[in-house]
Chain A
C-alpha cells in the first residue's frame, strides 16, 4: 500500500517492543541458574524439570484445563444462541434488557462479577443446599457466564456480515426455520463459533479474580496457584512456567495463522 510515515513506523516499533520486551525477559531469565530470579547465575534448564515434578502445578493445570474446556463449550452454545436471537429475531419483549445483559460482562470489572456470583452461590446454598461445596461447578458456571458475552459478540458480527438471503432461499425451498439454522446458518458461522470457543477457553484458563471468589478449598486453578506464589515476588520456577505457556501459545497461534493464510490464498 502506501508508504508509511516515519512517525508511524517508529511508534509501531516502540509499541511492539513495549509489548514484547517483558515477555522476552521472562523467557531469558527462565534459563537462569540462580535461585535469585533476577540475578544472572548461568544458563540452566533445571527449573523446567522441577515444573514437571511439582504435583500442585500439575493438579492445578489439569483442573484449569477441565474447567476451561467445559465452560468454553457451554459458553459457545449459549453465546451462539444469544447471537442468533439478537441478529435474526427482530423485535421481542425484553430485547433491550437482553442486549444489555449480553454486552455488559465484556466490560464489568472482575471483582464485581466475582463478588456477585459468590454471593449468589452463598444465597443458593442457604435456600436449596446447593452448591454445598464450591469448586469445579461454581467456577465453571462463572466462566460460562462471562465468556458467552464474548462468543455472542463474535457470532453477532459474523451474522450481520452474512447474506440474509441465503436463509431466505432455504426457507423458500421448503426448509422450516429450525432446519435452516442447522443446514445453513450454523455451517456458515462455524469459523466464528470456533474462534469463540478458543477465546472462551483462553479466558477461562487465564481467569484469576473470579475463580478466587467462587472456588472453594481444594479447588485451586492454575492462575490461583501462580498468584499465591508470585505474591511474594519473582520466582524462577514461575519464570519457567511462564515461558512454557508463552511458547505453547505462540506456537499454537503461529500454526493457526499459517493455516488461515493458506486457506485464504487457495
Chain B
C-alpha cells in the first residue's frame, strides 16, 4: 500500500459567517489519510458547522477545503468523495434496510448484481444480515446506527464524517460501538472525522483531537498531548478535571521553573523547559489523579510539593474515589484515588486532617492569558 498522505484533508483559512455571527473563525487543519480524527467542543463552538462545510451542506465564507489534493470547497455534497453519518441517523423511513444501504450505489449507476454483492458485504460488516428486509421503525437505535454506517461506507468514500456518533447510545452500547467503529476504520483504512462534545468519546476513539471553542481551534494533538500537556486554561479545564493555581514566575531554569502561588502560600516547582520571564503570570495545573493523600507526613523527597489539608467532601464511585480537600490557605482542590484495597473501613473520613503531595513533573505550566 502506498505511503498514507499526511495532508489528506486540508482546511485552510476557513471561516463561516452567518450575518454578524462568526461560527467558524479562520481555522487551519491538516488531517492525514487513515486517521481517526476528533473535533471536540461544547455546543455552539462551531464544530457542526465545520463538519457541514466538509460535507458540502454549507459553503465557507472564505477559505478552502481540499481532499486528496482536490479543492472541493464549491462542490455540492452529491459530488464529493465524502459521506456523512448524521446524528439522527437519517435513515429513510419508507425504505427497507437493504434499500437504504443500496441507495448511494444506485446513484452511481452500478450494475444490480454488483450492488447486491456490496450490500451483502456491508450487512456482514455491520452484522445486520438478518435484518435486511426490515423497515427502520422495526429497528433499535443501535441497529439504525449500523444501517447509517453501512449506507455511508458502501460508497467507499475517501472521508467519513460522523456527527456525535455515540450520543444517543447508552453506556454499555457506547463502549461496544466505540470498539466496533475503531475496528471498521482500521479494516477499511478510511479517514474518519468525528465531531463530538463528549471528551471520553474523543479520547478513546481518535488518534488526534482538535479542541474547538467559539469557532477556533485551541489545541490540536493526540489524546495524551491534550490531556497531559494542555496549552490553555480552557483546554485544561475542558478535558477532565484539573486543579489550577495562578502564580508568578520566581525562577526559570533549563529544566525546571518555580512559581510563587498566593493561593497556596508556597512555591510550586514544575519540571520542563518553558519560555517564561521572571515575574510573568502563569498557571500551574495538576490533574487530580496525580495527587496523593496520606495520613502521615510524607518524606519530602525530590522537591515534591507537600501541603496540609482537611477532607471537605468525598464521593465513592466503585473503582475510584473523589476527594475535595480544603488546604490550609483555604483553597479547594480535587484529588482522585483508585480504590485498590477492599476494606470495610474508608481510607479517610470527612474532616480528617491529611497531607497532599505531588511530584514536580506531574504539574504542567500553562502560559496563555487568563
**Inter-subunit contact A169/B94 (CB<8 Å):** no
Q: How distant is the Cα of A19 from the Cα of B327 in the complex, in angstroms? A: 77
Q: Decide: A179 and B83 in contact? CB cutoff 8 A.
A: no
Question: Are A172 and B92 closer than 8 Å at their CB atoms?
Answer: no
Asked whether B78 lies within 8 Å of A174 as measured between CB atoms, the reply is: yes
Minimum C-beta distance from B195 to chain A (A): 14
Tell me the complex Cα distance, A163–B89, Å: 11
Q: Which residues of B contact A87 (CB under 8 A)?
A: none
Answer yes or no: A170 CB below 8 A from chain B CBs.
Answer: yes
Q: Which of B77, B92, B107 contacts A166 (CB 8 A)?
A: B92
A175 & B94 in contact (Cβ 8 Å cutoff): no
Indicate whether B76 reaches chain A with its CB closer than 8 angstroms.
yes
Q: A163-B88, A168-B77, A179-B107 are in contact. Are A173 and B83 (CB under 8 A)?
A: yes
Known contacts A168-B57, A168-B77, A187-B94; is-contact A173 B155 (Cβ 8 Å): yes
What residues of A have a CB within 8 angstroms of the CB of B90 in the complex? Answer: 163, 165-166, 168-169
Q: What are the residues of chain A within 8 A of B94 when measuring CB–CB?
A: 187-188
Q: Please tell me if B189 contacts chain A, counting CB pairs below 8 Å.
A: no
Known A-B contacts A184-B92, A188-B93, A188-B94; the reply to A168 vs B86 at CB < 8 A is yes
Closest to A162 in B: B93
Known A168-B77, A168-B86; judge A174-B108 contact (CB<8 A).
Answer: yes
Q: Are A172 and B83 in contact (CB under 8 A)?
A: yes
A170 to B55, CA, bound (A): 12
C-alpha spacing A163/B90, complex, angstroms: 8
Query: How far, in angstroms, from A170 to B99 measured CA to CA in the complex?
Result: 12
Q: A163-B88, A172-B56, A173-B152 are in contact. List 20 more A-B contacts (CB 8 A).
A: A168-B77, A168-B86, A169-B92, A169-B151, A171-B57, A171-B76, A171-B77, A171-B78, A172-B55, A172-B77, A172-B78, A172-B82, A172-B83, A172-B84, A173-B107, A174-B104, A175-B107, A179-B107, A183-B103, A184-B92
- Give chain A's interface residues, CB within 8 Å of chain B: 163, 165-166, 168-176, 179, 183-184, 187-188
Pairs A–B under 8 Å by Cβ, sample size 23? A165-B86, A168-B77, A168-B84, A168-B90, A169-B90, A169-B92, A169-B151, A170-B103, A171-B56, A172-B55, A172-B56, A172-B57, A172-B77, A173-B107, A173-B151, A173-B155, A174-B78, A174-B104, A174-B108, A175-B103, A176-B78, A184-B92, A188-B94
